Amino acid sequence: MYSVRDELAKDPFGTVKAVGALGYAGVEFYAPYFEWTHEQAKQMKKLLDDLGMKCFSTHNDAKFLDKDNIQKAIDLNLNLGSKYVVMASAQPKPGLDGWKEVAAALNFAADRLEKDGLKTGYHNHQPEFTPVDGQRPIAVIAKNTKPTVMLQLDVGTCVEAGSDPVEWIRANPGRIRSLHVKDWSRDAGKAYSVLFGEGVVDWKAVFAAAESVGGVEYYLMEQEGSRYSQLETAKQCLAKYRAKFG
C-alpha cells in the first residue's frame, strides 16, 4: 500500500476498496498501520474479506519487532490476517557486526512470531547490496538468520546497487518468498518513476527464478511515483504486468 500512500493516509478503507477494484488480490500495509487500534485492524480484515482480498504482510520499523513492541505487532497482524511481519529497513552500527546485530534481531522476532503462527522477513534497499568490508550486508543477514526468515527482494534497488536479482534468488532457494516488483531506469531523470516493464529489469528471468527456486508466494507491485497519480500508477502497472505475464 506504500504505492498509494497519500490516498491511504486520507482514507484507508476507501483506498483499499479502490485497490481491490483495480484487480489486486492482496496488499501489504506499511509502518503507519502500527498506529491503528485493534478494532481498526479487525475492521480492515473484514473489508478485505468482503472484497475477496488478503493482507499478505506488513512492513515494520525495526523497533516494532523489539521486545517492547513485538506483542503489539503480533496482535495487529493476527487481526489483519497477515502472515509475514517484515522488517522494512535497518540502521545498523557501522561495519559487518552491525548487520549481524540486525540478523540477531530478526531471529528474536522469528522465535516470538512463530509461536503465534506468524513469520518474519527482511526487506532490502540499496545498502544491503552494497559491499561492506568485501561482503554484501544482505548476504550477512541471510547467513546469520534462521531459514524461516523470509528475504523479501526489492528488485529495483537490488539492480540499482549493481547486483543480479536472479543470481541472488538462486543463491537463496526457498527464502525469496515475496518480491517487491519495482522497476528501475539508468536514466537519472526517470530512475524509479518508470512503470513496471519500462526499466532495465529482466522480469521474465526474475519471475522464472522466483517460481522455480525462490519459493515465491506472492508479488507486490511497488512504485515510488510516476507521471500518473498513485492510483492510476497502480492501475497502469497491473495492466502492464497482465499484458506480459497473464
Res 40 pLDDT > 90: yes
What's this model's pTM, rounded to 2 decimal places?
A: 0.97
The CA-based dihedral angle spanning residues 145, 168, 220, 181, taken in that order and rounded to the nearest 10 degrees: 150
In this structure, which CATH number among 3.20.20.150, 3.30.390.30, 3.40.50.300, 3.90.1170.50 belongs to the domain 2-245? 3.20.20.150
Domain ranges in the chain?
2-245
In tens, the pLDDT along 55-86 reads: 999 999 999 999 999 999 999 999 999 999 99
Residue 93 exposed, middle or buried by CB count within 10 Å (0-12, 13-18, 19+): exposed
What is the rounded distance in angstroms from the CA atom of residue 143 to the CA atom of residue 91?
A: 19
In tens, the pLDDT along 182-233 reads: 999 999 999 999 999 999 999 999 999 999 999 999 999 999 999 999 999 9
What is the rounded distance in angstroms from the CA atom of residue 246 to the CA atom of residue 244?
A: 6
Res 90 pLDDT > 90: yes
Phi, psi of 199 (to 5 degrees): -100, -150
Q: What is the DSSP letter of 3?
A: G
DSSP alpha helix (H) spans, 86-172? 96-114, 137-144, 155-160, 165-171
Residue 58 exposed, middle or buried by CB count within 10 Å (0-12, 13-18, 19+): buried
**Beta-bridge partners for 123:** 152
**Residue 12 is placed in which grid cell?**
484507508
Res 246 pLDDT > 90: no
Q: Which residues contact 180 (CB under 8 A, 6 or more apart)?
A: 123, 152, 153, 154, 155, 156, 220, 222
Residue 136 and residue 118 in contact, taking contact as beta carbons nearer than 8 Å: no
Q: Which helix (H) or strand (E) holds 85?
A: strand 84-87
Phi, psi of 56 (to 5 degrees): -70, -40
What is the rounded distance in angstroms from the CA atom of residue 43 to the CA atom of residue 219?
A: 24
In tens, the pLDDT along 109-143 reads: 999 999 999 999 999 999 999 999 999 999 999 99
CB atoms within 10 A of CB 50: 10
In tens, the pLDDT along 148-187 reads: 999 999 999 999 999 999 999 999 999 999 999 999 999 9
